[in-house]
Amino acid sequence: MSSPSLSSPAVGDFSPEAFAAHLAALPADVPVWWIERKRAAYARFTDLPMPGPTDEAWRFSSRETLTLAGFAPVTATPVAGAAAAARDAAVPALFSVADATASLTFGDDRLVARQALPADLASRGVVVATLQEALRSHPDVLREHFLSQPQKLGSEKFSSLHAAFVQDGAFILVPKGVEVTAPIVVTHASAGAGTAVFPHTLVILGEQARATVVDAFVSPDATAPAGPRAGAFACGANDLYVSHGAQLTYVAAQRWSLDTLSFQLNSTIVRRDARVQSLNLHLGGRQARHESLSQLQAPGAFSEMLAVTVAADAQDFDQRTLQIHQAPHTKSDLLYKNALLDRARTTFSGLIVVDPDAQKTDAYQSNRNLMLSDDAEANSLPGLEIQANDVRCTHGATSSRIDPQQMFYLEARGVTPAKARELLVFGFFEEVLNRLEHEGLHESLRQLIATRFH
Amino acid sequence: MSSLEIRDLHVAIHDKEIVKGLSLTIRSGEVHAIMGPNGTGKSTLSKAIAGHPDYTITQGDVLLDGKSILEQEPDERARAGIFLAFQYPSEIPGVSIANFLRAALQARLAEGEELDATTYYKRLYQKMDMLKIDRKFTSRSVNDGFSGGEKKRCEILQMAMLEPKFALMDETDSGLDIDALRIVSEGVNALRGPGLGVLMITHYQRLLNYIVPDYVHVMYDGRIVKSGDKTLALELERRGYDWVKQELAPAAPAPATVHA
């Protein structure tokens, strides 16, 4: 970390010295290309300005509370002692999946626990590894797919920062024709308070493969009063590559501590006749920006993009999505639901782009906000950019309040107003959560959501 | 033995007085029917007792076991033992009947006490069997897309699970075909007993063939104008509400005397 006088707002604590310390802490045998990419990414990060007032991609965003200062990348000085113990204790208390087939748990970007794949799946070529392992075992696949997609939603600065400081993460590869029925679970835990983490998950499904992958992001809420380095920083990326005819269910459950500034940058590629269902659950963070890009690259591709957000207290959630139809007969279906309480704020900005030859595109985009407080604020910016003439594209955004008749009905059964509101929020989310086929996962998410109400 | 005493109750909605001085006492084990033409204040009475925020009580009192409930919120009244069976139950998409009832029962437990899931489901299934409700119902959303009969059965199921001291049944027979009416009535009859008092609000005598009341009251223009036993209902059926109106026409009646 650098002294304040040396850092500019566009670099913050991610100074050249901090980057040099990060490089110095890398294992000695990482490939040269990995280090070169990191250097290039760091240069790009320092070149790019912080989002400005005229950036369309940051319209309605709370730019004034974006900061890169106050956080130390934990790769140089690992979190230890009581903070690490609190971090590791928070994981099972917040999130668990009953029947995971394999799991990786990272504590501040270092592997702290794992559940190995069953032998039969491993023998068929399924890989659930860390990035550090994959750098040695699958360098070519990693080099081809690692952060290979363009950043089209405004956060190139932060994706560059991620690439520069990423320490470790998950590498999941399911080869052609292999079906993994139970979820593969990756947990990224952070100790919070003054730390910066760069969680990464890369999922690659071969032709006709099937898998369910869960990314969970958790950190313990601070119980001590806020100090000078009380905040936390998380800048994660998750890239999904789904080959011909493959089917991926991807769930990202974000429950960072409530003082975290979080970026979550997702990119999905859907090939011919492939099907992706992604569900993002947003619960934590002081300010959390999520960008999700779906590229439908070949006929028959289908991307279902789902999100559920509980925005409470003074939380600020910023969600940017892009559905790009690059081939005919492709389908995308986006449903983002937000429940807003207290003084919370949400922004949804979604764009559907249909390329000129992507005829017979079927695209849908919907953002629905349930307002539980007069002081909450929901912004919606739905958009279409259609260059083909034979398509079906619909989009819409709605905001509604809790129905007083429903409230009275629940209260007339003895349910307290607070619990009644919680039930109605769960009811509102159920339309989204119900789309998950996996019952156990559905229940895990419900329990995680409940932590925001008690 | 519990009592629900309605004492000279006046209820207004949007500054318009609907209930105009109604007095009635119900004791555990009794079934009272209130009959009357449309627009006479029957539904207003039941919603006001349950604490609906749209209704203002301008005068009078409602006492449960001698204590006024008017200062209590709707959920407090419910936990104290008042149950309103809605004429038009709300649909709550995404909230399963099982979760809803669980939350309602959990709310009745002391802080830190947890509802036992096994016992809960056992009891729920037993009540559902009694009401001839398919067990698959538990995972359906509350009243969401239900037929009129299903909604009313769902109300009775809730009543069976929550075991109130007093049930206010608002036009429970409305929208029911004869089979549904029979099932719902059988349910109510099964719940009848020394621990439950019932105030049954209905426009039609038909319901009273299935749920035989101990007392019948005729409500007109915001007041009870006639009280009697079940034969009063039959007389009303024969002579129509015009008979009551005509009887009242010459002079304003003294407030109806109710059984002491």
CATH (one of 3.40.50.1100, 3.40.640.10, 3.40.50.300, 3.40.50.2300) for B3-248: 3.40.50.300
Interchain proximity A410–B100, CB inside 8 Å: yes
Q: For residue A313, is it within any domain?
A: no
Residues A277 and A410 in one domain: no
Interchain proximity B94–A416, CB inside 8 Å: no
d(CA A416, nearest CA chain B) in Å: 6
Of A88-102, A127-141, A367-381, B100-114, least confident by mean pLDDT is A88-102
> Residue ranges of the domains in chain B?
3-248
Task: Tell me how far apart the alpha carbons of residues A353 and A212 are, in angstroms, rounded to a whole number.
Answer: 27
pLDDT at A80: 83
In this structure, are residues B79 and A412 in contact, taking their beta carbons and an 8 Å threshold? no
Task: Tell me how far apart the alpha carbons of residues A414 and A133 are, in angstroms, rounded to a whole number.
Answer: 55
Max Cα-Cα span within chain A: 67
- Residue A368 pLDDT greater than 80, yes or no: yes
Q: What is the pLDDT of residues A429-451, one digit of tens each?
A: 999 999 999 999 999 999 999 98
Residue of B nearest to A430 (CA): B94
Residue of A nearest to B142 (CA): A427
Interchain proximity A409–B90, CB inside 8 Å: yes
Which of A243, A265, A298 is the endpoint of a domain?
A298
In this structure, are residues A352 and A332 in contact, taking their beta carbons and an 8 Å threshold? yes
Which of A298, A329, A351 is the endpoint of a domain?
A298
d(CA B153, nearest CA chain A) in Å: 15
Q: The complex's ipTM? A: 0.94
d(CA A401, nearest CA chain B) in Å: 14
Q: For residue A445, is it within any domain?
A: yes
Residue of B nearest to A405 (CA): B90
Nearest to A307 by CA among A317, A296, A295, A297: A317
Task: Tell me how far apart the alpha carbons of residues A192 and A258 are, in angstroms, rounded to a whole number.
Answer: 9
In this structure, are residues A42 and A19 in contact, taking their beta carbons and an 8 Å threshold? yes
Which of A238, A270, A298 is the endpoint of a domain?
A298
- φ, ψ of residue A50 in degrees (nearest 5): -70, 155
Residues A274 and A127 in one domain: yes
A5: confidence class by pLDDT, cuts 50, 70, 90: very low
Question: What's the residue count for chain B?
Answer: 260
pLDDT at B258: 52
Of A154-158, A219-223, A397-401, least confident by mean pLDDT is A219-223
Residues A89-110, mean pLDDT to the nearest whole number: 90
Question: Between A403, A416, A423, which is nearest B100 by CB?
Answer: A423
Residues A228-236, mean pLDDT to the nearest whole number: 79
Interface of A with B (CB under 8 A): 403-406, 408-417, 419-420, 423-424, 426-431, 434
A225: confidence class by pLDDT, cuts 50, 70, 90: very low
pLDDT at B242: 85
Segments forming the whole domain that contains residue A141: 4-298
Residue A231: burial class (beta carbons within 10 Å; 0-12, 13-18, 19+)? buried
Task: Tell me how far apart the alpha carbons of residues A236 and A43 are, in angstroms, rounded to a whole number.
Answer: 19
Q: For residue A356, is it within any domain?
A: no
Question: Between B50, B51, B103, which is nearest A423 by CB?
Answer: B103
- Residue A1 pLDDT greater than 70, yes or no: no
Task: Tell me how far apart the alpha carbons of residues A145 and A122 are, in angstroms, rounded to a whole number.
Answer: 21
Residue A88: burial class (beta carbons within 10 Å; 0-12, 13-18, 19+)? middle
A7: confidence class by pLDDT, cuts 50, 70, 90: low
Total number of domains in chain A: 2
Residue of B nearest to A434 (CA): B94
Q: For residue A344, is it within any domain?
A: no
Residue A417: burial class (beta carbons within 10 Å; 0-12, 13-18, 19+)? middle
Residues of B in contact with A428 (CB under 8 A): 94
Residue A340: its H or E element: strand A331-340
Interface of B with A (CB under 8 A): 50-53, 73-75, 78-79, 83-84, 86, 89-90, 92-95, 99-101, 103-104, 107-108, 141, 158, 162
Residues A213-235, mean pLDDT to the nearest whole number: 77
Residues of B in contact with A434 (CB under 8 A): 94
Q: For residue A121, is it within any domain?
A: yes
- Residue A232 pLDDT greater than 60, yes or no: yes
Residues A220-239, mean pLDDT to the nearest whole number: 74
Residues of B in contact with A424 (CB under 8 A): 92, 95
Mutating which of A400, A405, A415, A443 best tests the B interface, going by the most B Cβ atoms within 10 A? A415
Residues of A in contact with B158 (CB under 8 A): 413
C-alpha dist (Å) from residue B64 to A105, A112, B22, B28: 57, 60, 16, 11
d(CA B259, nearest CA chain A) in Å: 29
- Residue A91 pLDDT greater than 90, yes or no: no
Q: What is the pLDDT of residues A303-362, one digit of tens each?
A: 999 999 999 999 999 999 999 999 999 999 999 999 999 999 999 999 999 999 999 999
- Mean pLDDT for chain A? 93
Question: Between B86, B90, B107, which is nearest A414 by CB?
Answer: B107
d(CA B52, nearest CA chain A) in Å: 7
Helices A439-450 and A417-433 meet at what angle, rounded to 10?
A: 150
Residue of A nearest to B46 (CA): A412
pLDDT at B108: 96
Q: Average pLDDT of each block of 10 consecutive residues along chain B (260 residues)?
A: 96 95 97 93 96 96 98 98 96 96 96 93 93 88 93 94 97 87 90 95 89 95 94 88 78 51
Residue A426 tokens read as: 């769960």
Mutating which of A402, A403, A411 best tests the B interface, going by the most B Cβ atoms within 10 A? A411
Of A2-11, A265-274, B88-97, B107-116, least confident by mean pLDDT is A2-11
